[in-house]
Amino acid sequence: MSTTDALILQTIIDTAHDHFFIVAPDGGIRDVSPGAAAVYGMSREELCATTVQALVADGVLKPSVSLEVIRSGEPAQVVQHTGTGRRVIAQAHPVFDGERLVAVVSRSMDLTDLQLLQQEYSLLQRRFSEHLKGRLASQEDSECLEAELGDLEIKSRVMREVALLLKRVAPTDATVLMLGESGVGKTAFARQLHRWSSRADGPFIDVNCAAIPESLFESEMFGYRQGAFSGAAPGGRVGLIEQAAGGTLFLDEIGELPLSVQTKLLKVIQDGRVTRLGDSASRRVDFRLVVATNQDLAARVEQGVFRLDLYYRLNVIPVTLPPLRERREDIPGLAERQLARLNERYGETKMLGRDLWQALMGRDWPGNVRELENALERAWLSAAEDVIRGRETLLTTAQGTPERHQSAPPPHQSAPPPHRDESSPHRDEPFSADACDGQDATLRTDEGLKDALARAERAILAELCHRLSSTYAIAERLAISQPSVVRKLKQHGLRILR
């Protein structure tokens, strides 16, 4: 390294806002940035005279991200606790000379600093969104927007603002982060964003990140060459990212990605290039990235399960879709649209009775648009006449019991059994412990509550895997999210058998 290069590198280390460590393969600390002293409670000279193993043993920091990289040879991220009582996010990357590890470069950020940056970033994003909305409000005619909404049913002011913002950013290639509770319609808005964009003639590739096992994610997303691994398809396979070339790649449930996969995705976003498994050559791929999550990604960064650099790469244009309970004006349009779909699907013409509309508008719909659509389908299938009557029919949950705000039976009087419709694909059947490998509610010898609950959970999931045809149907039956079902099935080694 020339003298000039050394001076440049030293200036970067000395002036960096993040706290840098340069660590040798044996754990010895070669250099640190001056700001690290305030976080770790030791001077720069003291830090450079010791090892990361000694820092861990003395309680200066725990765990060591550099030791993890030395162990694995892969980039890593951890949340560290320091001897000064601070929590920091530490990221580290290996430096190789050929195949030989020569150093580890790590940087850390105090979570206090991160929170201040997030607040500043959120303020700037809010001002940017307000600027766009105000600009569009004066440019866009309401009737023109109505004609361009496609399949979206929007009447509320807040959702029209969201639509106007998406229409404004659609011609750009900026990454959009869709935020909101499960079932609010993030996928529908992502599709509309694609239709408004200059890539509308290209593909829209919809990927549920939570539904792809970690072991298959790389081959599914990046593709592979023929013979890349045992069982690889003849001729190889084009990955989902390459399939999105010229169009939009929509990654739903982005918060569920494992850290190892996040690193590979970040590299693709940064470089715009994809390398298939078993291939040495990379391919440039031109796509627009849209992601969605119902989780707080900033909180997951603080927990150490989501990369900070990926978070900032994704959070370019954040768009929050409010829950249905905060935009009840949209319920009539959504209900009418679902009713039209059901009439077309089943070849009959049914209408909602007047007594149902009050129930529709008064319910909070915790599952949002998805729950509304599922409830209407159950009501449609349960109705013997052309007019769907009875609020109890509509508001019967997937478990077959009325909502908790409905009237309870008088004391000492049992509730009537729930209505069952054998023609419904989501019909509810009583769970039988005997039907699931002889499971029962009795504790076994030397079995604690945790093991008993896990056994009961597996029995319920196993029974539903025999009876229902998708993870979405199981999620509806159990009143949990679909990604949770995917994780639980993987945890218990189960799969759907229908």
DSSP assignments along 74-122, one per residue: S-EEEEEEETTS-EEEEEEEEEEETTEEEEEEEEEEEHHHHHHHHHHHH
Domain 326-395 has what CATH class? mainly alpha
**CATH 3.30.450.20 occupies which residues in the chain?**
3-110
Q: What is the pLDDT of residues 375-427, one digit of tens each?
A: 888 888 888 788 887 655 555 543 443 343 333 333 333 333 333 333 333 33
Query: Residue 433's pLDDT is what?
Result: 34
CB 223 within 8 A of CB 242: yes
Tell me the pLDDT of the chain averaged across its residues.
79
Question: What ranges make up the beta strands (E) of 139-252?
Answer: 176-179, 204-208, 223-224, 237-238, 248-252
Query: Residue 81's pLDDT is what?
Result: 85
Chain centroid to CA 42 = 39
The mean pLDDT value for 312-340 works out to 89
The mean pLDDT value for 121-139 works out to 56
Q: What is the pLDDT of residues 149-187, one digit of tens each?
A: 666 777 888 888 888 888 888 998 999 999 999 999 999
Q: What is the maximum alpha-carbon separation in the chain?
A: 89
CATH code 3.40.50.300 for 140-322: yes
**CATH 3.40.50.300 occupies which residues in the chain?**
140-322
CB 322 within 8 A of CB 180: yes
CB 285 within 8 A of CB 242: yes
Signed CA dihedral, 420, 422, 423, 426: sign only: positive
pLDDT more than 90, % of the chain = 24
Query: Residue 55's pLDDT is what?
Result: 94
| Those residues with Cβ within 8 angstroms of residue 59's Cβ, 6 or more apart along the chain or in another chain | 83
Query: Residue 249's pLDDT is what?
Result: 96
SS3 50: coil
For domain 3-110, the CATH architecture is 2-Layer Sandwich (3.30)
Question: What ranges make up the beta strands (E) of 209-316?
Answer: 223-224, 237-238, 248-252, 273-274, 283-284, 288-293
Radius of gyration of the chain (CA): 27
Pairwise pLDDT comparison (5 vs 289), residue with the higher score: 289
Pairwise pLDDT comparison (293 vs 79), residue with the higher score: 293
| Those residues with Cβ within 8 angstroms of residue 168's Cβ, 6 or more apart along the chain or in another chain | 132, 135, 136
The mean pLDDT value for 235-251 works out to 92
Closest to 339 measured CA to CA, from 368, 367, 381: 381
**CATH 1.10.8.60 occupies which residues in the chain?**
326-395
- Range with the largest mean pLDDT of 100-104, 215-219, 362-366: 100-104
Q: Which two tokens stand for residue 384?
A: 């013997």
Closest to 478 measured CA to CA, from 385, 415, 425, 400: 400
Query: Residue 292's pLDDT is what?
Result: 95
Query: Residue 427's pLDDT is what?
Result: 37
- Range with the largest mean pLDDT of 68-82, 355-369, 417-431: 68-82
